[in-house]
Chains A and B, each alone.
Chain A
Amino acid sequence: MKNLFSLTVVSGILNTMVSLATPFLYAALGETIAQSSGVVNLGVDGVMLLSAFAAFYVALTTGSLWLGLLAAAIVGLLMGLLMSFVSVTLKAEQGVSGIGLYMFGLGMSSLLFKILIGTVKTVKGFPPVVIPLLGDIPIVGPILFRNSLPVYGAFLLVPLVWWLLEKTTLGLRIKSVGQNPAAADSLGISVDRIRYLSVCLGSTLAGIAGASLSICLLNLFQDDLTAGQGFIAVALVYFGGWNPVGVMGGALLFSVVNSMQLWMQVLGVKIPSSVAVMLPYLLTIAALTITVNRMRQPAALNKPFERGEN
C-alpha cells in the first residue's frame, strides 16, 4: 500500500486523472450552460457518440484532425438545434426528449460506423504539446503542461464558462431565464432564443467532448464508445452546483478516484475488483451528500416556458 504514495505512482494517478477528466469537462460545462437557462439535456451521451464518430470519420478520411474537430462541433450544434426545437419550441418533456436524442445518437453512430467504416480502425490523434519552460517543472510539468490541445482546452473552458455565466450580460440573461423566465420575458429578453443559444452551445461542447475521445484520447471509434460518460457528465452538473469550478471539482474527484483504483489493482492492493470499480461512484455520492445544502438548482429547470402561463 505504501507504493501507492510513491512519486511515480502519484504522478501516474494525476496524469491519468487529467485524461479521464477531459471529456467530462467539455460535456459537463456545456450542460451547465444549458441547464442554467432551464433546459435539461439528457441526450449528452448521444451527442458525444455521434460527434465522436463524425470527428473520427472525417479525420480518417481527410487526414485532418482539425476538420474532425470541426465536424464534431457541427454535429453537436445540429443535435442541439434538434433538442432545442423539441424541448423549447414544441415544449416536449425535456427528460424524455433528451433520452430520445441519446438513443438517436447511439443508433445513428452505430449504423454509420457499420456502413462507412465497418471495422475498428485507429487514427493518429492530437499529439502532446509541451508548454515551454512550464513543461519542464519537475513533477507538475509532465502532469499539467505536456498534454494535447483538446486537453488544455477542457481546463481553459472552466474559467471561460465561469466568466460567461458570471461576468457577461449574456450570462446574466441565461441565468435569469433559468431562474425566472416570466420576469426575463417581461424585461424584453427572448426566453426561447436564449434557451436555443444555451442548449446549442452546450451541445456543441458535448460534441467536442466526443471528439476528445475519438481523435485525442482513444484515437479510435467503436460502438458505444462513451460507455455512458455523457450521463456522468449530467450528474456532475448537479454535483458542481451549476458552477463551473464545482463541476471541475466533481470531474477531477471522479477521475482521480478512478485512476487511483486502477493503480491499486496494478500494484496488487488486496481489494476485490468489483469494490475497486465502485469506488469513484461511491466517493462521488458521498461527496454529493456532504455538499447537498449548497446546491442552488435553476428554479425553472425542466419547465417549458409559455408566455402568460408562468
Chain B
Amino acid sequence: MTRRSLFIAVVLGVLITASVTAAPFRIAVVMPSATTDMAFSQSMWSALQSIQKEMGGASALELKYSENMYKVPDAAAAVRDYASQGFDIVIAHGSQYGSSVQEIAKDFPDVTFAWGTDVNTFGLPNVYAYTAAAEQGGYVNGVIAAKVTKSRKIGVTGPVEVGDAKTYIDGFLQGVQSVDKSITISKTWTGSFSDVALMTAAAKTHIASGADVLTGSSQSVVGSIQAAIDKGSVLWFGTQADQASLASALVVASQVYDWTGMLRDMITKHKAGVLGGTQYTLTLANGGLKIAYNPSYKLPSSAKSAGDASIQGITKGTIKVEP
C-alpha cells in the first residue's frame, strides 16, 4: 500500500468512526440551592445522575449544573448560556425562574426548556413544566405523625408560605386531622428557604412548647432536624428528599421526589422531535412521589398500616387531599 493510500484510509476510518459514534444527549440544570441540600435541588440532581447511569454513563448523557443560583438574573444568564451551547434540555429548577424561561425559550426553538415547580408551559412548543403534588405525601406523613405523637402536639417548621412548601404542610395538616382532630398542630414560617439558624430556633420553640413530632420543608430543615437530635426524643418527618441519614433514630419517614420517570419521558419525547408542551405532576399514583420509611426507626405496625392505607387511598382516589 502506498503512503498516500494509507493516509486516505486512516482519514476515512476516523471520519466513519466519528459518524457512527453517537454524540451524548446533553442536559443542563440550573438550581437555586446546592446539589447537597438534602431537599429540592438534591432531588433533581440525584434523579439526573440516576438517569445518566441508566443510559450508560457520561458518554451517553452529558450533565452540567449550576447551583446556588438564587439570584434570578444569574440563573437566567446560565440558562441562556447552556441553551446557546447546544444542550438538548435545559432545566430551570425553581419556580422563580418562570419568566426567564418564557423569555429565553423563544430565542432557542430547538432546545427543550423544563421548569418547575409550576404548571405553565406558556403555550410554547419547547417548554415543559413540572410540579409535585406534595400535599399527598404530606397527608401520609400527617397520618403517621398522628399515630406516633405521645404529647399530642406537633410542630411544623415552614420556610416561605408558597409553592410545594405550603402544599406539603396543607396536606400534612389534613393527614393529622383525619386521624385525630384534637391533636394540636402549630406552624411557624421563617420567611427564608436558607436561614438555618432561624429554622433551628423555630424548631426549638415548638419543642419548648411541648411538640414531640416535627416536620417542615426546604434545605434549612437540617436545623429543625438538629434541634430534634439535640432534644433526643423528638421525631421528624421529611419531604423532597430522604432525610434519614441526618438522624437515623429520629426520622420516621420522608416524602421523596423522584423525577426520573419525568426525565425519561422528556428525553424520549425530545428524541422523537417533541420539544415541549407537557405539564408533569409527580404523584403517589405515577410513582413520582414515594414515601421512604426509615428502616432504622421502629415504626409501630399500626402506624405503618395507617400510612400504607393512606398511600393506597390516595393512589386509588378514595382519599382526596386538597393542596
Interface residues of A (CB under 8 A from B): 8-9, 12, 15-16, 19-20, 23, 110, 113-114, 118-120, 122, 213, 217-220, 222-227, 229, 258-259, 262-263, 265-268, 273-274, 276-278
Contact = CB atoms under 8 A, between A and B. Distances in A.
B191 interface: yes
A267 B197 CA distance: 20
Interface stretch (B136-144, B221-229, B251-259, B292-300): B221-229
Contacts of B204: 16, 19
B209 A267 contact: yes
Nearest to B219: A222
A265 B197 contact: no
A20 B190 CA distance: 14
Given A218-B196, A224-B68, A225-B196, A266 B191 contact: no
A305 to B, nearest CB: 35
A229 B192 CA distance: 13
B205 A12 contact: yes
A120 B246 contact: yes
Given A16-B205, A119-B36, A219-B226, A265 B188 contact: yes
Interface in B279-296: none
Contact of B186 (A20, A219, A268): A268
A223 B197 contact: no
A266 B188 contact: yes
Interface of B: 33-38, 68, 155, 158, 161, 186-192, 194-198, 200-202, 204-206, 208-209, 219-220, 222-223, 226, 229-230, 245-246
B205 A266 contact: yes
Contact of A218 (B34, B188, B200, B208): B200
B186 A119 contact: no
Contacts of B198: 20, 227, 258, 262
A223 B36 contact: yes
Contacts of A263: 205, 209
Contacts of A229: 197
B190 A120 contact: no
Given A218-B226, A224-B68, A262 B191 contact: no
A16 B201 contact: yes
Contact of A122 (B36, B194, B229): B229
B80 to A, nearest CB: 22
29 contacts: A9-B209, A12-B205, A16-B204, A20-B197, A23-B197, A110-B34, A113-B34, A218-B196, A219-B229, A220-B222, A220-B226, A223-B34, A224-B194, A226-B197, A227-B196, A227-B197, A227-B220, A258-B198, A259-B205, A262-B188, A262-B202, A263-B205, A263-B209, A265-B187, A265-B189, A273-B158, A273-B191, A274-B161, A276-B189
Nearest 4 A-B pairs (CB), nearest first?
A277-B191, A273-B189, A227-B195, A265-B188
Given A119-B38, A273-B191, A266 B186 contact: yes
Contacts of A118: 36
Contact of A265 (B35, B186, B222, B223): B186
Indicate the member of A19, A23, A213, A219 with the most B CB atoms within 10 Å.
A219
B246 A227 contact: no
A258 B36 contact: no
A199 B53 CA distance: 50
A113 B5 CA distance: 56
A223 B33 contact: yes
Contacts of B226: 122, 218-220
Nearest to A225: B196
Contact of A222 (B196, B206, B230, B245): B196
A19 B196 CA distance: 13
Contacts of B194: 223-224, 227
Nearest to B193: A227
Nearest to A259: B201
Given A218-B197, A258-B198, A267-B186, 8 more contacts: A120-B37, A219-B226, A222-B196, A222-B220, A224-B68, A259-B201, A265-B189, A266-B205
B205 A262 contact: yes
Contacts of A213: 197
B197 A217 contact: yes
B250 to A, nearest CB: 12
Contacts of B189: 265, 273-274, 276-277
Indicate the member of A20, A226, A227, A266 with the most B CB atoms within 10 Å.
A266
Contact of B191 (A12, A220, A225, A274): A274
Contacts of B208: 8, 12, 15
Contacts of A223: 33-34, 36-37, 68, 194, 219
A198 B34 CA distance: 35
Contacts of B158: 273
B206 A120 contact: no
B161 A222 contact: no
Contacts of B186: 265-268
